A and B are shown apart, each in its own frame.
Chain A
Amino acid sequence: MTAQDPKAFQNYSEANPNFNASLSDRYRLDKILEFAAWTATFFGLAMLVILLITVFRDGLFRLNWSFITSYPSRNPSAAGILSPLVGSIWLLITVALVSFPLGVGAGIYLEEYASDNWLTRFVDINIANLAAVPSIIYGLLGLQLFVRWMFPITNGRSVLAGALTLSLLILPVIIIATREALRTVPDSIRQAGYALGATKWQVIRIQVFPLALPGILTGTILALSRAIGETASLITIGALTFIAFVPELSLKGLQSPFTALPIQIYNWVSRPQPEFHTNAAAAIIVLMILLLLMNTTAIVLRNKFQKARG
């Protein structure tokens, strides 16, 4: 095949469908792919913007102080989100207290202590698999395990039962984040610690853990914000939707029935009256602000610790 023989060139390109002789055709297809890629990206961003605008347009005018300090009610204009908001904060604190030590401990064990044998690999696969189990399945587990079998401890459909269920749900996320953070700590730091005669636990506690902490905290806060938005598993364990009191601030409060913001939103969305839909939109704004605060905290913490390390 030579340049003087266009016939042969054409034959070649017909026989090889992978080779398109026309450069302008190829560049046209290039432009189409690039255009499609940018369109997809703007579609994703546009959906986020439209979602936020819709919710704010629907709910912002409803949002005022009495909406935050009133209990849910059958009368949409008098209803508020006091008990769901307090319930969500209760859940947030309890879930953090339970899942942070468990997740970080498990992460440290798997990354620093466990030897690479079949058992460790099995635990590994198991954690990856748990992260993909639908949250409603955790709800079924929580219903059976925490609401029914552990009734004497949890008192049934209580804050504690909900918090334990959510803790199991986000545990794999925290373990994975902990392990990734520990992996970024260079081995030379550990070896320096051993060279000074420190024990393994001393090296982990004094040298490794503080360096990994920002990554761990970021991962934990992101996991907690998932727990705060979680609805399905809480409905499954039977969190009530009409609660006109606030759980008291004590261990006894852990055993009290509760409701949470996402559940209240679901309750209001699924009613036919548009006034309740407005309430749902206003509650969504509060929930989104709560999530935004948590995510900002995660980012600020990460930046602060990263500067301290430098």
Chain B
Amino acid sequence: MRAPSLPFRQSPRQNRLLAALPAEVYARLLPHLELVPMPRGWVLHESRGVQGYVFFPTTSIVARCYVMEDGSSAQIAVTGNEGVVGVALIMGGDRTPSRALVYSAGFGYRLGSSALKAEFSRGGKLQDLLLRYTQALMTQTAQTAACNRHHSVEQQLCRVLLLSLDRLVFSEMILSHEWMADLLGVRREGVTQAAFKLRESGAVGYGRGHITAFDRTKLEAASCECYPVVKAEYERLLPEVMTPSSWNPSKLPRATARNSPASGLRAFEQVAQV
């Protein structure tokens, strides 16, 4: 199959977890890593569903949501280019407890369970990184429990937006109130009110009813401690992933019509249809 020609270069190394692997481990995984477009709303795996792949997001951001029997859900963690979706696979499970849902469109790489397990069972750097990543994920989940219980919708929204900002590769994210309400597992009116306050203070900017721009400093001021706690824990557990010298989330390039993940997705679809 002809390699799709895309507006900007795609590489598994755009996922910082993969980028932190030693060259020989990366080289072993590379033939098994498959580029996948991750459009908004795509469910990577369903709650309690069977999963055959793990996903390493590069330009997309994924929310893990816990779904109850009556269908109501709660967002439990945010994963982007710092992580991997589907870690249960290395722990002997082929079913995941949560639903993984793309909420910021982009790309990612998927890796089949057999290739993942083969590398994991070598007991090297991949295993070490994935275990520490799991610990970070647990911390984020536990902190989310406290945040959802004790902090305002506005603070929760700030937490999710800031965690998302740290995982964006372009200074662009399109989020509607409906999506935010879904993500947080709260009623839409609550989100509308919270988003209105953030807009008044200039923490977020709007375009066509969607949040499109952010002021990080103002968001941090309006946020509870949960964001810095989670951020610090990721940095402490995964220094080589979270704070490599090459990474500076406060200096993201502006998304243009040519290079944005959205136009990348459109181009991918066109190439795939040919």
Q: Do A and B bind each other?
A: no
Which residues from chain A sit less than 8 Å from chain B, CB to CB?
A: none
Which residues of chain B have a CB within 8 Å of any CB of chain A? none
